[in-house]
Chains A and B, each alone.
Chain A
Amino acid sequence: MSPTPPNNVSVFWAIACAALATYGLRLGGLLLSERLPKNGGFKKFMEALPGTILLSLVAPGIVSAGVLGGTAAFATALCAWKTKNVFAAMVVGMGIVAIGRLI
């Protein structure tokens, strides 16, 4: 559908560079962590990080999804909290958005 498809060489490099960058970060983080301190303030930092990263990934998306998105995200969070079931929570969230858009 695109007018002139990009040549194969640039496609190769685009994908290869993205793959190398991503893999380097994945493995680099793990290998670096062994040289970092494992107590005190740094330990607190690493323990808090999983939650704050995921939240940062999703928070702007919820805000930009408007009132409907906010309501759906709240229902998703509540369902995930009560049932511990990620799939059920997701269905609730997507269902609210789909119905909301239909109306």
Chain B
Amino acid sequence: MIEEIRRGAVANLPVGASVAAYGSVLGMLAAQKGITWLQLLAMNLSVFAGSAQFVMVEMWVPPLPVVEMTLAVLIINMRYLLIGASLQPVFAGKSLFHKAAVMHLVADENWAVTMAAHRNRGVSTGFLLGGGICLCSIWSMGTLLGHQLGALVTQPERFALDFAFVAVFTALTVSLWRGKADILPWVFAGILAILAERWLPGKWYIVIGGVGGALVPVAQHLVGRYNSSLACANRQSLEEIE
């Protein structure tokens, strides 16, 4: 278990570098909004979800719109429902307590790293947890550093820090590529997400693109089954004629 935790932590270090980069951007934004470092730390440890925290900070104008904020977080993080479901093979046979303890530290990054590693060699929940501990520490340090430096670095975009998020998720997406069978689902997911982002409010595009794209292989599967049953029926009717 300890060995797997260590491996998971090490495997997430490269991703951690960019997590620190966009964490520092969040810290700077939080400082501008008057969020104290303690409140930021509490958010890091309890919410631990990058994109949701960005939106919370964006909405952080007193009096705090708690209901709207919670709804926004629910919508952005709806993908965790699917992420949690996709981890089922990694958690197979584990106790409820084990699941409840490890799931808190599942973020996009250590999940993607774990899924890629799981396809190659099969990994345990320790690997996932190690990644979570590594990322949560780096995330907290990055955001708090940004919070302290907030006044010094006035233009984080000059250093492309705002692009760190896009860069790391582009690289992580590539690591989940399974081969030619992914072309159609991915194209479909990308188009849906871009259209949904343009035409729908909030962050629905993540769930719409993800689910829409993943439905493509389902449709292909159903069409394939329909065709084979059709062929089967044809053969039967031919035999009857003979």
Chain A contacts to B: CB under 8 angstroms = 1-2, 4-7, 10-11, 13-19, 21-23, 25-34, 36, 40-42, 44-63, 65, 69, 72-73, 76-77, 79-81, 84-87, 89-90, 93-95, 97-98, 101-102
A65 to B218, CA, bound (A): 32
Q: Interface size on B (CB < 8 Å)? A: 99
Q: A14-B69, A26-B103, A51-B178 are in contact. Are A5 and B171 (CB under 8 A)?
A: no
- CB neighbours (8 Å) of B205 from chain A are 56, 60
- CB neighbours (8 Å) of A41 from chain B are 218, 221-222
CB pair A56 B190 closer than 8 Å: yes
A80 to B192, CA, bound (A): 24
A98 to B158, CA, bound (A): 6
The contact string, 1 if C-beta is below 8 Å from chain A, for chain B 44-86, is: 0011110110001000101110100110011001111111111
CB pair A55 B213 closer than 8 Å: yes
Judge whether B186 is part of the interface by a CB distance below 8 angstroms: yes
Chain B contacts to A: CB under 8 angstroms = 14-15, 17-18, 21, 31-34, 39, 42-43, 46-49, 51-52, 56, 60, 62-64, 66, 69-70, 73-74, 77-88, 91, 99-100, 103-104, 106, 108, 111-112, 115, 157-161, 163-178, 182, 185-186, 188-190, 192-194, 197-198, 205-218, 220-222
Nearest Cβ distance between residue B196 and chain A, in whole angstroms? 8
Nearest A-chain residue to B46, judged by Cβ = A19
CB pair A80 B171 closer than 8 Å: yes
CB pair B167 A93 closer than 8 Å: yes
Nearest A-chain residue to B18, judged by Cβ = A90
Contact of A2 among B33, B73, B174, B182 (CB under 8 A): B33
A48 to B182, CA, bound (A): 8
Q: A15-B47, A44-B221, A59-B194 are in contact. Are A54 and B62 (CB under 8 A)?
A: no
CB pair B175 A30 closer than 8 Å: no
CB pair A1 B171 closer than 8 Å: no
- CB neighbours (8 Å) of B182 from chain A are 48, 51
- CB neighbours (8 Å) of A87 from chain B are 14-15, 17-18
CB pair A29 B85 closer than 8 Å: yes
CB pair A17 B69 closer than 8 Å: yes
Nearest Cβ distance between residue A69 and chain B, in whole angstroms? 7
- CB neighbours (8 Å) of B62 from chain A are 2, 4-7, 10
Most A C-beta atoms less than 10 A away, residue of B18, B99, B166, B193:
B166
Q: A49-B214, A55-B186 are in contact. Are A73 and B170 (CB under 8 A)?
A: yes
Nearest Cβ distance between residue B234 and chain A, in whole angstroms? 23
- CB neighbours (8 Å) of A22 from chain B are 47-49, 52, 73, 77, 80
Q: A10-B64, A53-B82 are in contact. Are A45 and B215 (CB under 8 A)?
A: yes
